[in-house]
């Protein structure tokens, strides 16, 4: 069965400093992995996805993530945080057994960006 | 850019009442989903729908829940007799046939009093 563990429930960084949001996954199949972002009172927006192509994936707003099979990790990074990055971030794995591909979600990491 | 839309944005209902949450998926998508997020908890899968039938449902999706695609554009979630614990944000999502990513609507916040 697939599962996702986000290792930090809250991360606080200063504007202009790097961001690291950690995610480990468990999957019986070759996984598809995603990061979604949710700004306050907004919907869920796809940041980036890994679907068995390049292991370093670039997303929107300067975010990227690296798929490391040996570590079963898919950590999200950004070189320099911006105030507008403050949001809830979800690491997600797709259940690729069959065509349904339901998404299995981590608990989320709340990112705070301090001026 | 095409997007998933949901109505209403906020629904308040009394316990025991029926509610219908509406979604308009992206037009060329073939897979449709409902998820919910109880305040402070993770997003949970409820149901997936393909080819006019439920393809998978979670244990949350009991007999009180149903989904329908009444026409070529809408996708609805009905809760027959709402309970306090149904209070949550409900997200609709859709996916292309061969795509991996799901596109989400803005959500409907359901409050059961």
Question: pLDDT digit string (tens) for A34-71?
Answer: 999 999 877 899 999 998 778 899 999 999 999 999 99
Task: Give residue-wise pLDDT tens across range A65-103.
Answer: 999 999 999 999 999 999 999 999 999 998 776 777 889
Averaged pLDDT, B49-60: 93
Q: Could you tell me the pLDDT band of residue B16, with boundaries at 50, 70 and 90?
A: very high
Rounded Cα gap, residues B14 and B86, in angstroms: 11
Of B67 and B71, the one with more pLDDT: B67
3-state helix/strand/coil string of chain A:
CCEEEECCCEEEEECCCCEEECEEEECCCCCEEEEEEECCCCCEEEEEEECCCCCEEECHHHCEEEEECCCCEEEEEECCCCHHHCEEEEEEEECCCCCCCCEEECCCEEEEEEC
Averaged pLDDT score across all residues of chain B: 93
Q: Could you tell me the pLDDT band of residue A24, with boundaries at 50, 70 and 90?
A: very high
Residue A57 tokens, joined: 């994936």
Which of B77, B74, B75, B39 is CA-nearest to residue B58?
B77
Do B104 and A107 make contact, defined as CB atoms within 8 angstroms?
no
pLDDT of residue B73: 87
pLDDT of residue B17: 97
pLDDT of residue A40: 83
Q: Which of B33, B100, B104 is opposite residue A102, by nearest beta carbon? A: B33
A108 pLDDT more than 90: yes
Averaged pLDDT, B36-63: 93
Cα distance from B63 to chain A (closest Cα, Å)? 20
B55 touches chain A (CB under 8 A): yes
Q: Nearest chain B residue to A42 by CA: give it.
A: B106
Q: Which of A90, A100, A107 is opposite residue B56, by nearest beta carbon? A: A100
pLDDT of residue A51: 85
Cα distance from A52 to chain B (closest Cα, Å)? 11
Q: Nearest chain B residue to A89 by CA: give it.
A: B42
Cα distance from B41 to chain A (closest Cα, Å)? 7
Q: Nearest chain A residue to B107 by CA: give it.
A: A43
B38 pLDDT more than 80: yes
Q: Could you tell me the pLDDT band of residue B79, with boundaries at 50, 70 and 90?
A: very high
B70 pLDDT more than 90: no
């Amino acid at each position: 069965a697939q599962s996702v563990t986000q290792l930090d429930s809250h991360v606080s960084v200063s504007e202009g400093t790097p961001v690291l949001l950690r995610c480990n996954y468990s999957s019986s199949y070759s996984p598809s992995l995603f990061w979604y972002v949710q700004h306050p009172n907004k919907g869920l927006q796809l940041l980036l996805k890994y679907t068995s192509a390049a292991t370093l994936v670039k997303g929107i707003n300067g975010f990227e993530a690296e798929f490391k099979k040996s570590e079963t990790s898919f950590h999200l990074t950004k070189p320099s945080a911006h105030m507008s990055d403050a949001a809830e971030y979800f690491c997600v794995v797709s259940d690729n057994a069959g065509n349904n591909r339901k998404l299995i979600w981590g608990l989320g990491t709340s990112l705070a960006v301090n001026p | 850019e095409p997007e998933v839309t949901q109505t209403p944005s906020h629904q308040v209902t009394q316990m025991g009442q029926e509610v219908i949450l509406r979604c308009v998926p992206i037009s060329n998508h073939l897979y449709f989903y409902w998820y919910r997020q109880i305040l402070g908890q993770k997003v949970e899968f409820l149901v997936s729908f393909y080819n006019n039938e439920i393809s998978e449902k979670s244990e949350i999706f009991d007999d009180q829940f149903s989904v329908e695609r009444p026409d070529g554009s809408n996708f609805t979630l009905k809760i027959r007799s709402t309970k306090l614990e149904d209070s949550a944000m409900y997200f609709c999502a859709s996916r292309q046939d061969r795509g991996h990513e799901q596109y989400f609507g803005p959500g409907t916040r359901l409050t059961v009093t």
